Amino acid sequence: MSVSEAALTQILSQLAALQVSQQTLQAKLDNVLQQQNASSPPVSPLTSPHGHGIPLPRAQSETPPSHSPSSSLTNPSLLATLSATITNTIGQDKQLSDKEREKILYPSRIMLSTYPDQYGIKPVPLVWGATDPQTRGPVVCSRLPTSIKQRNALGAHSGSYSIYRALAIAMGTLNPTHKPDFSNTEPAVPIPYQPAWSDPTKIVSFDPWGHLVPQVFKHELEELGLDIRPSIAVTRAHMKLSEIDESARKGELTLDGKILVKSHPLHNPDGSVSTADPGVEIVISKAAVEPVWWLPGIAERFGISEGLLRRALFEDTGGMYPELITRPDIKVFLPPIGNLTAYIFGNPAYLSDESKELTLRVHDECNGSDVFGSDICTCKPYLIYAIEECIRCAQRGGVGLVVYFRKEGRALGEVTKYLVYNLRKRGGDSADKYFKSTEMIAGVKDMRFQALMPDVLHWLGIKKIDNMVSMSDMKYDAIVGSGIPILKRYDIPDHLLPPDSRVEIDAKIAAGYFTSGKQLTEADLVKTVGRAWEETEH
């Protein structure tokens, strides 16, 4: 059944009128609440219109400082009172019903969306790409009553883990107003300012100031009481891998006591010290980075309009974030996706020093291989090989970097990946069908879209890459296209290929992936056949 253009126009007009009506009603309600607060002691935003909830005492400072962009609800004293009230009521009274706890935790009037011209809306100023953090401004995405009208970002911190936070709050194990203590959490190694931080074309997928939030936004955190969270953490560690132990035993890696060190002695079951070789450990620095998307830059990077990007994100997440549509003035979105981790081998300062040799691997997550050692793909062997190359580079006086992205199954997910495995093994696993099998199920052979990947390289100040351990043409093109030259690239040696991974490698080579060996054609691929299920015992 088709809809005429006139009918469609009428529908759109009615929708617009409803939106205006909703905004008007919202403004009237906010105005009434403001007048009530002015004439009587304020109550918690957790108090329902029917009188249920917990009245809160007046905050110590009833009027916010004139320089503060916040309303009285963002006063730290009131926030502390709010937190204590929720803790005392929910934490101690175990007899509360779910409905009573819901009334305490959340306002009875559900706010599905806000609008730019709504009463009281005043986002904290944020200028993406500004040269100093105060001009740039903090990322504020909290929906707490103390900050919902001042948000300058949509979504939630911690990506997909924000769902676990919601569950913890619902179960009463986490106070939603808990204020983190960031003492002694500053980066273990410095990641200093780089010019790319203030270039809005270079970094659009995360906050370059994310690791310095407690330091550069101390005033906003402590005095204005804004709920601001770091989106990057930098620490140091030792990496322990059995494959590296074996390489060291074979003499393929050198124990230098700086990059590669001896592990502590092992112990026998009786507690005595074992004489067995304990192996080695790699001294590293690492940074965990959560996604924070600057929507205009994301849209430009993919060559689409910001409006189309917002609509796609709204529609294809089941309408999870309506303000992608209703708040075009908010340009930052924290998407519910996995983060990335940067593993640094050697001195992190060398990453931005063009006189130092740099070895890089950008690796996309493969749980089945990386963790559980599947032999159907080359992911783990390639990762281990890259780590060894990074160690050697650091021992030569350079620096190594492995960037690990959570993009399981080429960002199609592990369920889709396993469905493809089933199809391949039942339909004859040959290299000529490798990408076609994925397309039959997912509709596309790869959804990793490497356009955002180089951001982390620019954040670290990398200006050239001496050695890139990768066959991926998509990764190579994205890095070079972002302005970082790659001097040498190399693929995984044949002797490291797992038994059942030749199908993947040959299909990639024929599709244009880099190889230092023989070039393959589509005609060659029918000769490369993987192991059938019947050839193994289950």
If you ran DSSP here, which 8-state letter would residue 125 be given?
A: P
pLDDT band at residue 102 using 50, 70 and 90 as cut-offs: confident
The reply to whether 33 falls in a domain is no
Q: What is the pLDDT of residues 423-445, one digit of tens each?
A: 888 877 776 777 788 888 888 88
Indicate the SS3 state at residue 512: coil
Q: Is 379 in the same domain as 468?
A: yes
Is residue 299 located within the same domain as residue 379?
no
Mean pLDDT over 520-534 rounds to 58
β strands within 240-279, DSSP E? 260-262
Secondary structure letter of residue 305 according to DSSP: -
The dihedral of CA 327, 328, 334, 337: what is its sign? positive
Q: Cβ contacts of residue 469 below 8 Å, gap of 6+?
A: 359, 360, 361, 382, 385, 386, 389, 489, 490, 492
Residue 361 binned pLDDT confidence (cut-offs 50, 70, 90): very high
CB 208 within 8 A of CB 245: no
**89 token code pair:** 């009521």
pLDDT of residue 377: 83
Across the chain, mean pLDDT equals 83
Looking at 170-174, 233-237, 256-260, 285-289, which range is the least confident one? 170-174
Least confident of 39-43, 164-168, 355-359, 419-423: 39-43
At 378 the pLDDT is 87
Which of residues 149 and 68 earns the better pLDDT score? 149
For the segment 456-503, what is each residue's pLDDT rounded down to a tens digit?
999 999 999 999 999 889 999 999 999 999 999 988 888 888 777 766
Of 53 and 426, more confident: 426
Do 202 and 455 meet the contact criterion of CB atoms below 8 Å apart?
yes
Amino acid (one-letter) located at 202 = K
Residue 17 lies in a domain: no
Q: Is the pLDDT of residue 450 over 80?
A: yes
191 and 298 share one domain = yes
Percent share of the chain, pLDDT over 70: 75
- Let me know whether 310 and 352 are in one domain: no
Query: Based on the domain organization, do 373 and 421 belong to the same domain?
Result: yes
pLDDT band at 157 (very low <50, low <70, confident <90, very high): very high
Is there a domain that residue 83 lies in?
no
pLDDT above 90 as % of the chain: 56
More confident residue, 179 or 44: 179
Can you give the residue range of the structural domain that contains 361? 236-265+276-290+336-536
Q: Are 433 and 525 within one domain?
A: yes
Confidence of residue 46 (pLDDT cuts 50, 70, 90): very low
d(CA 87, CA 357): 53
Q: Does residue 68 belong to any structural domain of this protein?
A: no
pLDDT tens digits for range 176-232? 888 899 999 999 999 999 999 999 999 999 999 999 999 999 999 988 889 999 999
Kindly state the average pLDDT of the residues 149-157: 94
Instruction: Indicate whether 282 and 179 sit together in one domain.
Output: no
Q: What is the pLDDT of residue 491?
A: 86
107: pLDDT strictly greater than 50: yes
Mean pLDDT of 81-87: 60
pLDDT of 2 strictly over 60: no
> Is 18's pLDDT higher than 80?
no
Q: Which of 298-302, 507-511, 518-522 has the highest mean pLDDT?
A: 298-302
Residue 69 above 50 pLDDT? Answer: no
Specify the pLDDT at position 424. Answer: 83
- Does residue 57 lie in a domain region? no
Whole-angstrom CA distances from 187 to 34, 212, 286, 528 are 43, 8, 10, 48
- Tell whether 76 is covered by a domain: no
Query: Between 40 and 94, where is the model more confident?
Result: 94
Nearest Cα neighbor of 399 from 479, 344, 343 is: 344
What distance in Å separates the CA atoms of residue 203 and residue 198, rounded to the nearest whole number? 8
Asked whether 340 and 404 are in contact (CB, 8 A), the reply is yes
Query: What confidence score (pLDDT) does residue 68 get?
Result: 39
Average confidence (pLDDT) over 110-121: 88
Is the predicted pLDDT of residue 304 greater than 90, yes or no? yes
In the structure encoding, which two tokens stand for residue 320, read together?
């999870």
Q: What is the pTM of this model?
A: 0.82
The domain tally of the chain equals 2
Do 138 and 247 have their domain in common? no
The predicted structure's pLDDT at residue 10 = 60
Give the chain's length: 538
- How much is the pLDDT for 53? 33
- Other beta carbons within 10 Å of 227: 24
First to last CA, the chain: 52
Using alpha carbons, select from 320, 325, 329 the residue that is nearest to residue 309. 325
pLDDT at residue 494, as a whole number: 82
Over residues 93-112, the mean pLDDT reads 75
8 A C-beta contact, residue 115 and residue 326:
yes
Strand order in the sheet with 293-294: 153-155, 332-334, 293-294
- What's the CATH number where 258 sits? 3.40.50.10990
Distances 344 to 238, 283, 350, 395, 457 between C-alpha atoms, Å: 11, 9, 10, 13, 12
284 plus 180 within the same structural domain: no
Residue spans of alpha helices (H) in 223-378: 242-249, 295-302, 306-315, 323-326, 367-370
Question: What one-letter code names the amino acid at 272?
Answer: S
Whether the CB-CB separation of 139 and 332 falls below 8 Å is answered with: yes
Q: Same structural domain for residues 286 and 360?
A: yes
Partners of 469 in the beta sheet?
490
Q: What is the mean pLDDT of residues 101-120?
A: 82
Query: What is the Cα–Cα distance from 501 to 531, expressed in whole angstroms?
Result: 9
Do 253 and 139 fall within a single domain?
no
37 CB-near residues (< 8 Å, 6+ apart): none
What pLDDT does 195 receive? Answer: 96
Closest CA to 157 of 145, 143, 174: 143
Specify the pLDDT at position 237: 97
Domain presence at residue 444:
yes
Q: Are residues 159 and 185 in the same domain?
A: yes
| Residue in 470, 330, 316 with CA at minimum distance from that of residue 390 | 470
Which residues, at least 6 apart from 81, have a Cβ–Cβ distance to it below 8 Å? 56, 57, 59
- Tell me the sheet residues that pair with 234: 287
What pLDDT is stored for residue 16 in this prediction? 52
pLDDT at 172: 87
Q: Tokens for 188? A: 């273990």
In angstroms, the Cα distances linking 110 to 44, 48, 113, 172 are 15, 11, 9, 20
Tell me, what's the pLDDT at 486?
A: 98
Does 349 fall in a domain? Answer: yes
Q: Which residues pair with 201 in a beta bridge?
A: none
Q: How confident is the model at residue 112 (pLDDT cuts 50, 70, 90)?
A: confident
The catalytic site residues sit at 446, 448
